[in-house]
Structure 1
Amino acid sequence: MPLARTADLVATARTTGHALAAFNVITLEHAEAIAAGAERAGAPAILQISENAVKFHGGRLSAIAAATAAVARASSAPLALHLDHVESVDLLYQAHAEGFGSVMFDASRLGYGDNVKATAEAVRWGHERGIWIEAELGRVGGKAGEPPLDAHAPGVRTDPAEAAAYVADTGVDALAVAVGSSHAMTERTAALDHTLIAALKEAVPVPLVLHGSSGVPDDEIRAAVAAGMVKINVGTALNTAFTGAVRAYLAAHPTGVDPRAYLRPAREAMAETVTSFLRLL
């Protein structure tokens, strides 16, 4: 089926009081697993490609974007294409031509004033082309190349009043907020601030996004959705499943050399993880 629009999927999730999962794509197997998992769950999903994934592919967006879009169009599940954690304006400007319906523009490393200015410009550019723009306020932490960050340290979490001003000044369509999760967690031990999530929902008129959801236990995710989270980003959980399956296969077949033999169970492990998250939501 045609690519779904992130804006439409998010709006439906928000209206029905559910949440929409967004899964990170690094390889073709990731995209295939996300599509298979969504079909099994009978649920929509977002396939998102991060700037770091683009760097992994030599800085070239076109090939991985085209492959991911082809997988999404061939699926019976409603799937949208999203460009994630974009810091490079040059990469942002490639989004429309490559078929992305949404972009997470990440100016969170900048000071507040510069963040607002850069994000407002990204929103203006995106809206002129029908692209839905997500941004981040607060410090989620845990991304590659960043120093360790305590998700509960003072000044890390998103302030509701500042979030309201930020959304008004930038015009973003969704806001990723820091409420106790962290990127790249391999254990599901994060404790979220549900009171803060509820306060943020009241303060801002746009959907809230939870980054670092791989490290959040099921009950915490359910409570976060009930408190107001709408888009739930999942990346590391897929990589954990993928790598675990590859390790298990190679341990049992130490002389094997055909990558299809271990990529097949790796893809299946990721598909099962996708289905599990979608059924949770």
Structure 2
Amino acid sequence: MTSAKPNLKEILSQALAGRWAVPHFNISDMAMLKGLIEAAAETRAPIMIGTSEGESDFLGRRAAMALVKAIRKELGLSIFINADHCHSMATAKAAIDAGYDSVHIDLSKLPLEENIAATKEVVGYALAKSPMISVEGEVGYLVTDSSQVYKQAITVPKESLAKVEEAVRFVEETAVDRLAPAVGTLHGIAANVPNIDIERVHAISKALRKTILVLHGGSGALDEQIKKAIAAGIANVHFSTDIRLAYTAALRQSLAEHPDETTPYKLLAPVVLAVKTKAMEKIKLLGAAGRV
């Protein structure tokens, strides 16, 4: 059980120690957020709500933060908002200034030295604002950038994967709270199933011990592989494409079944349910249910 006041860093540490994982779901609108909140409430699970740079621009950072903060206070849920995949110092700092609980600075495609320098600056900026803000960095890189369904098989080259020694150096020099090492997953869903390098996860976890390891690209991975990754040291798993697919399928069906309906919240009711159902599946998969 967590303290009365939700603390993201504390909950992530509990997940790591207990070999379960905190789920992270991205949102694009209020219907998606509502489904996720209902899932968290029903399962009594802590969750992270993510907004990418595009989602942040669409929703508005301060508006998204205000929504999550208000819901957290009203319902007493352990929900936190994360600025996902900030590809610049400016967007990372904008999220911190907006009051986000967490920021993910992703400069993983830059040379390691540049990635370290920029990430270290974000960590310092966040710490100056509040020691409660959790900062995530990334080593290695995912070969796809978009949360979509690909018709072709996608190969993950070995050189894209995180190296243990680079992961250790990165954490030591940046002092990040969370590290997302590339371990074989993809953004989106490919025609083939990606293979999570469990041995690599275990080696990085063993070397870093208390650092929270994050798995991106959870939607395309097999459930059993995700469970093995958690057992090896992953404590935070991201899902986006699965949630988007549940949302869009339910919306298309709702529009087809009710072509004359003009009230948006009525059309979106099945969408909220679909998002909730899919999120609950992922929450239970990660062992996060009943943790708060």
TM-score (norm 1): 0.91
Q: Does 1:168 align with 2:172?
A: yes
Distance 2:104 2:155 in 1: 21
**Which of 120, 132, 138 lines up with 2:140 in the alignment?**
138
**Which of 184, 193, 204 lines up with 1:189 in the alignment?**
193
Q: Does 1:117 align with 2:117?
A: yes
Counterparts in 2 of 1:188 and 1:29: CA distance versus 1, 3 Å: farther
Larger mean Cα displacement after TM superposition, 138-147 or 101-110: 138-147
Distance 1:203 1:179 in 2: 15
Matches of residues 215-254 of structure 1 in structure 2 within 5 Å? 215-254=220-259
Contact 2:180 2:215 in 1 (8 A): yes
The Cα RMSD (Å) is 2.4
**Which of 14, 19, 22 lines up with 1:20 in the alignment?**
22
What secondary structure is seen at the aligned counterpart in 1 of 2:49?
A: strand
Deviation at 1:276, TM superposition (A): 0.9
Counterparts in 2 of 1:151 and 1:139: CA distance versus 1, 3 Å: farther
Distance 1:88 1:127 in 2: 18
Distance 2:156 2:247 in 1: 30
Distance 2:86 2:197 in 1: 26
| Corresponding residue pairs, total | 279
Q: Does 1:204 align with 2:186?
A: no
Larger mean Cα displacement after TM superposition, 67-76 or 224-233: 67-76
- The residue type equivalent to 2:62 in the other structure is S
What secondary structure is seen at the aligned counterpart in 2 of 1:175?
A: strand
- The residue type equivalent to 2:54 in the other structure is N
Deviation at 1:74, TM superposition (A): 2.6
Deviation at 1:279, TM superposition (A): 1.0
Deviation at 1:196, TM superposition (A): 1.0
Aligned residue in 2 for 1:153 = 157
Contact 1:186 1:214 in 2 (8 A): no
What secondary structure is seen at the aligned counterpart in 2 of 1:23?
A: strand
Larger mean Cα displacement after TM superposition, 239-248 or 11-20: 11-20
Identify the structure with bigger relative contact order (alpha carbons < 8 Å, sequence gap 6+).
2
- The residue type equivalent to 1:113 in the other structure is E
Identity, % of aligned pairs?
Answer: 27
Matches of residues 22-37 of structure 1 in structure 2 within 5 Å? 22-37=24-39
Per-residue CA deviations over 1:145-194 (Å, capped at 9, x if unaligned) read: 99999452130111111111111111111100111111122778332111
- The residue type equivalent to 2:185 in the other structure is S
Aligned residue in 2 for 1:106 = 106
Aligned residue in 2 for 1:8 = 10
Distance 1:27 1:187 in 2: 28
Distance 2:33 2:79 in 1: 10
What secondary structure is seen at the aligned counterpart in 2 of 1:93?
A: helix
Matches of residues 14-93 of structure 1 in structure 2 within 5 Å? 14-57=16-59, 60-93=60-93
Larger mean Cα displacement after TM superposition, 93-102 or 161-170: 93-102
